[in-house]
Structure 1
Amino acid sequence: MPAIPASAKTPLDQRLPLHAKEHWPQLVTVHMRYHSQFAYVEGQLIDGGRLPLMRLRYGGSATYWGLAIHTPSNDRYEAAPWFTGTPQEALNLVCDLYVTGIDT
């Protein structure tokens, strides 16, 4: 799969931080970095720390992406082939796992 085109990065760069701001007050924002067909997403915590959350895989659509959840125990991304959804839905799923217990 080729690298993520700008036409897919731009909506992701706009929508995920807005979604985090509206739904996850424990996060100041989310940051994305791109490598090949992957978008790595980290949450910025109120104390300034960053929390790796997930890796999204571009599959040819700016709407639906593949998901791999970051596992802190081994500092790797584990594919979630059962997930089908938008990047915002992926963020909700991962934040339910890792962010819900963090105080605001």
Structure 2
Amino acid sequence: MAGFKYPYTCPEIDRKIGEARGELISAMAQVFKDYGVKGASFRDAQEAGEELFSVVSDVFEGARQSNENMRTEADKQIKEMDQELIDLRAQLFLANEELKKFKDK
């Protein structure tokens, strides 16, 4: 039986989440710098970036779940199609056997 032949994407999703986290932290540091947030340190900017990331991280997890759902559904559909193929091959075999009997008469 076949399955969904596509590599798991969670490692790629994890890499992209890490990239987004880094980009958000960098963006917050730049915002703090550009707008001259008084008394703010780079650590403050990092914390703000982390806080922003925590707000949007559920979006990434939603995408991951959607990906897992698609993979599960694809596996299910492939198994159903495999079973249908097995059934059709059996029907074809039986039809050929009947045809042989008919020809032998």
Q: TM-score range by the shorter chain?
A: under 0.3
Higher strand share: 1
Higher helix share: 2
Bigger RCO of structures 1 and 2 (CA < 8 A, at least 6 apart) = 2
Structure whose alpha-carbon radius of gyration is higher: 2
Give TM-score scaled by structure 2 length: 0.27
Give TM-score scaled by structure 1 length: 0.28
